[in-house]
Amino acid sequence: MANPIKKVCCIGAGYVGGPSMTVMADRSPEIEFNVVDKNLKRIESWNSLDLNNLPIYEPGLMKLIKKCRNKNLYFSNEIEKNIALADMIFISVNTPTKTTGLGAGQAIDLKWIESCARQIAMHAKGHTIVVEKSTLPVKTAQTIKSILDSYIKKDFGDNNKNSKTFSILSNPEFLAEGTAIEDLLKPDRILIGGDDNNAIEVLKNIYLKWVNEQKILTTDIWSSELSKLIANAFLAQRISSINSISALCESTEANISDVAKAVGMDSRIGKYFLKSGPGFGGSCFKKDILNLVYICNYYGLFEVANYWEKVITINSWQQNRIVSIIVNKLYGTISGKKIAILGFAFKANTNDTRESPAINICRKLLEEGCILNIYDPKVSIEQIDNDLKNEDLSNLNELNNEKKWQVSSSIIDAVRKTDALIILTDWNEFYNLDLEEINNLMRPPGWIFDTRNIINIKQANKYGLNIWKIGNGNLM
């Protein structure tokens, strides 16, 4: 029987580190979980007395935080101290695409992983199990191991020589935002890769508190690292597949929901991840596929790289073609027109906007000279401003000093005096829009562009609204 662990440290208090440690803490009251981050503002938000101020919004998270925080779950920026005290350390830091240098635009920037490895190497004491929770390129464990080993060999002159040892495991996270707590509590599988059976058993024992043993899969470390990238690539591939067919439906008077249903009822294909929309967003799909493309090219597998790259090509194409459709339907120009945007988060039930299709679509619309009223139930004004602003896009129209976009506090506020309404996120509250009131508030002829396929066409027509729905070839 492997030694039970008493203290866990998780480096990175983000969308993965926060919720995953919260669920573990809830299921293992005898273990102390310390989630650390160098971002003090984020830590302060995790410790906020008002639970509405938590740094991330996830259904079910508040309740668990209330139960565990400051009992066996702590958030702090005392990174070194908590590394030293931990028997097990999860690395849950960001792994974005490199923006400069070798592999820029495709390879993963491992600088945060490397800095974690160095911090662990310097401050860990005794035997420490280091767990990769971040999504990493295959073979990253080798990099981490070489950094940890180099510090073990180094004599620090404090009689600490060789007193520390490490085991490295890969334990990728498969949660999706918006359903993170549910996904963590009822995972499809837990994947643990490694070659130290004792360490594997220790980690497995944590999960066994709430996950059935049959769902815990153990593999070698490289298969585990690679499986995570491939799972994301397959999910994104399904979305690009259905989005490519949404365009074909529009050209052939077919209906994408019916096609997806008919195709998905084949048990070999399955019904999930077949909803067409404005393209996938989120911090991971694009960067993980780009990384896969980079790895394939690195190993000389050019056809494989080209194959996966097309998943991203279709994703961008879907967003661009939606913008063209909107401009064309609004008589070929949207200059000076007001447009309401419903939904800015990359999917419902999250406040995350990373790689949200809304960013690209809104930017392109703004370039056409329109004015946007943006409403999202969870995304803050600051976040929207940050996402839309950059050197070439300031919020002020130089000619008349009028704001190019404003953030509305309700659907009704957003829609008033607009020419068009565009649904970009599938928030629950957009399913039952009061189309009569909306039509009364809009400047005729009012248009609805439904990129999430949630509006009833007959209802919209009944109140005199024009409607375009993704993947619907027959709108009459």
Say how many C-beta atoms besides its own lie within 10 A of residue 2's C-beta.
15
Q: How far apart are CA 381 and CA 103, in angstroms?
A: 34
Q: What angle do CA 459, 463, 468 make, to 5 degrees?
A: 60
Residue 232 touches ligand UGA, criterion: CB under 6 A? yes
From 284, 296, 362, 370, the catalytic residue? 284
**Is 284 an active-site residue?**
yes
Residue 277 touches ligand UGA, criterion: CB under 6 A? yes
In the list 45, 47, 115, 440, the residue contacting ligand NAD (rule: CB under 6 A) is 115
The H helix count followed by the E strand count for the chain is 17, 14
Kindly write out the interface string for residues 171-200 of this chain, putting x where it contacts ligand NAD by CB under 6 A and - elsewhere: --x-x-x-----------------------
Stretch near ligand UGA under the rule CB under 6 A, chosen from 24-32, 55-63, 271-279, 437-445 = 271-279
Pick between residue 404 and residue 452 the one whose CB is nearest to ligand UGA: 452
β strands within 185-274, DSSP E: 190-193, 216-219
Residue 285 phi/psi, 5° resolution?
-55, -50
SS3 letters for 232-262? HHHHHHHHHHHHHHHHHHHHHCCEHHHHHHH
Q: Which does 14 bind (CB under 5 to 8 A by kind): ligand NAD, ligand UGA, none?
A: ligand NAD
3-class SS of residue 229: helix
- Nearest by Cα to 114 from 135, 90, 140, 138: 140
Query: Please, what's the largest Cα pairwise distance for the chain?
Result: 81
Give the containing element (helix H, strand E) for 405. strand 405-407
Q: Which does 338 bind (CB under 5 to 8 A by kind): ligand UGA, ligand NAD, none?
A: none
3-class SS of residue 18: helix
Residue 280 touches ligand UGA, criterion: CB under 6 A? yes
Q: Which does 307 bind (CB under 5 to 8 A by kind): ligand UGA, ligand NAD, none?
A: none
Q: Least Å distance between CB 14 and ligand UGA?
A: 11
Give the distance from CA 34 to its chain's centroid: 23
Residue 14 touches ligand UGA, criterion: CB under 6 A? no
Pick between residue 136 and residue 411 the one whose CB is nearest to ligand NAD: 136
Beta carbons within 8 Å of 288's beta carbon, 6+ residues apart: 135, 228, 229, 232, 233, 236
Residue 177 touches ligand UGA, criterion: CB under 6 A? yes
Pick between residue 236 and residue 305 the one whose CB is nearest to ligand UGA: 236
Pick between residue 339 and residue 348 the one whose CB is nearest to ligand UGA: 348
Q: How far apart are CA 23 and CA 18, in angstroms?
A: 9
Give the distance from CA 310 to its chain's centroid: 20
Count residues near ligand NAD (CB under 6 A): 27
Q: How far apart are CA 115 and CA 123, in angstroms?
A: 12
- Nearest by Cα to 222 from 168, 175, 176: 168
As given in the structure block, the two tokens for residue 120 are 């662990």
Q: Which does 38 bind (CB under 5 to 8 A by kind): ligand NAD, ligand UGA, none?
A: ligand NAD
In the list 210, 273, 317, 463, the residue contacting ligand UGA (rule: CB under 6 A) is 273
In the list 72, 128, 135, 170, the residue contacting ligand NAD (rule: CB under 6 A) is 135
Stretch near ligand NAD under the rule CB under 6 A, chosen from 110-118, 297-305, 308-316, 428-436 = 110-118
Residue 68 touches ligand NAD, criterion: CB under 6 A? no
Side chain identity at 189, as an amino acid letter? R
Angle between helices 111-123 and 140-153 (to 10 degrees): 30
Torsion sign (Cα): 224, 230, 235, 236: positive
Q: Which does 134 bind (CB under 5 to 8 A by kind): ligand UGA, ligand NAD, none?
A: ligand NAD
Q: Least Å distance between CB 374 and ligand NAD?
A: 23
Beta carbons within 8 Å of 80's beta carbon, 6+ residues apart: 119, 122, 123
Stretch near ligand NAD under the rule CB under 6 A, chosen from 89-97, 204-212, 272-280, 357-365 = 89-97
Pick between residue 229 and residue 330 the one whose CB is nearest to ligand NAD: 229
Pick between residue 38 and residue 310 the one whose CB is nearest to ligand NAD: 38
Residue 109 touches ligand NAD, criterion: CB under 6 A? no
3-class SS of residue 153: helix
CB contact at 8 A, 58 and 67: no
Q: Which does 95 bind (CB under 5 to 8 A by kind): ligand NAD, ligand UGA, none?
A: ligand NAD
- Residues involved in catalysis: 284
Positions touching ligand NAD (CB under 6 A) are 11-17, 36-39, 42, 79, 92-95, 112, 115-116, 134-135, 173, 175, 177, 283-284
Binding residues for ligand UGA, rule: CB under 6 A, are: 135, 173-177, 232, 235, 239, 273-275, 277, 280-282, 284-285, 346-347
